[in-house]
Amino acid sequence: MGGDKGRVLPFVRREHKRREPKRDLPTGTFARGSRLAAVPVMYAGRRVAGFGKRAAGGDADDITRQIRLRTAQHLFDVMGELKGCVAKLGQLLGLLEWGLPRDLAEPYRAALARLHDSAPPMLPGAVHAELTKHLGPHWRSLLPQFDDRAAAAASVGQVHRGCWHDGTPVAVKIMYPGARAAVSADLAVLRRIAPLFGVLLPAADTASVVNALCAEIGAELDYAREAANQRAFTAAFADDPDVVVSRVVAQYGDVLVTEWLDGIPLSHLVNQSKPAARDRVGVLVLRFLLSAPARVGLVYGDAHPGNFLLMPDGRLGIVDFGACTSWPREFLDVASEVGAALLTQSPHDLESAMRRHGFVAPGRALDIASVLARLQPVRDALLATTYPLTEKWLREQVRLVTDLRLTNVLRQLTMPAEHTAMLRSFLGGVAVLCQLHTDVPLRAECTRWYPETVAAAGL
């Protein structure tokens, strides 16, 4: 599950008698914060060194590229080592990296790709110790076949392939020792740096949004909660023609055992499949993400290519249900009111809806005509039979969002913290669909799952 979930890995049993180095996560707030703080310090040092190389006649473009490459590798190596909240943010950056200009994104691509699925693994001795701790000293009777090599690594745990005592092929997800303390330290770090996000959105309550995001990530440490989420999705999507969710086999403390899905991760399809095949899979991703709240009452918050698989029968396999949160049904009111104003292109109605639902701070001026123009792609996607999402399109949207000029109207907006889960799911989903170059049938899928909301919006 996750990363190379589709590879068939041989089962091995190894006895490790030699003493292994301790590989717990760094957990102290100071230790974790100082590692992150070292990134900009070393970046500044590289820039100073670069000035000297340029003065000595070095190629300016090559020097700049090397600085970006080394900084990217350093940043995401640190994120991969720290895992926890930091790695989750790195995964989100890895998705949005597709939206950066090509000349800027190229040095970051390899480092980001490593972060998604290749965080430093636990060694076999540590893995066995965790299984003994949570399943008991005779865990081999439950898992007579178990691969000591991790099949995938995530932000707070890693996955191994095994076989349950009844013969079921399973994925065994094991939390890293020290993950809870590490995430707790990350919460403190992220709260401290929350004001930095105000550079992009000075009108936003960034502290509340960061707190909400950290609360969601903290909840992912509860494997009993994740198992309950997965059981809910398994029941809701049972016999679905488009989607398959693996069954939860068992959950013991910080170990979650689920059926193994043999599929091809979407990350392998992006550059290897024909456009029509990628488009079909993208539509299935859209359908899953849109339908989940209506069918399960939960938002699927961890949309990235490693969590989606193309199954041999053509269905979309879904894994990793830790980042699922309750669906705020009042969001449908937001969608219908904002949608109606967009369709009628009414500046007055749009401003009223945005102020009423907390997207503009009280008393703050708003250039509503510019907001209406900025949201034109959403209107186009709702009106069109299909709307093409591409890397080029995403690149333009990221450029507009991150434009630091005072004239950027998005800098006048904020977002209620209760919509953080929706934003996380939306950003991840859009990034995946753009990578797959999906022609999105947004109106049809919205109508299928939320007909009353669509009707209220006037579609």
- With respect to residue 96, please indicate whether it lies within any of the assigned structural domains: yes
- With respect to residue 257, please indicate whether it lies within any of the assigned structural domains: no
Query: How do the pLDDT tens digits run along the chain, 459 residues long?
Result: 444 444 333 333 333 334 444 445 444 444 544 555 454 445 445 444 544 555 555 667 666 666 555 655 555 455 544 444 455 554 555 544 554 555 544 444 444 444 444 445 788 999 999 999 999 999 999 999 999 999 987 667 899 999 999 999 999 999 988 878 777 776 666 666 555 555 455 555 666 667 777 777 777 889 999 999 999 999 999 999 999 999 999 999 999 999 999 999 888 887 777 889 999 999 999 999 999 999 999 999 889 888 999 999 999 999 999 989 998 888 899 999 999 999 999 999 999 999 999 988 888 888 999 999 989 999 999 999 999 999 889 888 877 776 656 566 777 788 787 887 888 889 889 989 998 999 999 999 999 999 999 999 988
Could you give the 3-state DSSP secondary structure of residue 9? coil
Cα separations in angstroms, 262 against 158, 163, 171, 311: 17, 14, 11, 7
Read off the DSSP letter of residue 254. Answer: T
Buried b (16+ CB within 10 A) or exposed e, 274-309: eeeebbbbbbbbbbbbbbbbebbebbbbbbbbbbbb
**DSSP H or E run through 374:** helix 368-374
**Widest pairwise Cα distance in the chain:** 72
- Residue 330: how many CB atoms within 10 A of its CB? 11
Place of tokens 């909660």: 225
- With respect to residue 304, please indicate whether it lies within any of the assigned structural domains: yes
- With respect to residue 253, please indicate whether it lies within any of the assigned structural domains: no
- State which of 57, 82, 117 marks the end of a domain: 117
- With respect to residue 161, please indicate whether it lies within any of the assigned structural domains: no
Look at the pTM and tell me if it is higher than 0.95: no
Give the pLDDT of residue 413.
81
Provide DSSP, 314-328.
Answer: SPEEE---TTEEE--
- Total number of domains constituting the chain: 2
Give the pLDDT of residue 410.
72
Tokens of 295: 């069918």
Q: How far apart are CA 226 and CA 243, in angstroms?
A: 19
Could you give the 3-state DSSP secondary structure of residue 243? strand
Give the pLDDT of residue 9.
37
Give the pLDDT of residue 409.
75
- With respect to residue 130, please indicate whether it lies within any of the assigned structural domains: no
Give the pLDDT of residue 73.
54
* 60 Cα distance to chain centroid: 35
Neighbour-count burial of 347, counting CB atoms closer than 10 A to its CB (0-12 exposed, 13-18 middle, 19+ buried): middle
- With respect to residue 85, please indicate whether it lies within any of the assigned structural domains: yes
- State which of 76, 100, 117 marks the end of a domain: 117
Give the pLDDT of residue 82.
47
Instruction: Print the domain residue range for 423.
Output: 263-459
- With respect to residue 61, please indicate whether it lies within any of the assigned structural domains: yes
**DSSP H or E run through 310:** strand 308-310
- State which of 67, 83, 117 marks the end of a domain: 117
Give the pLDDT of residue 329.
82
Length of the chain: 459
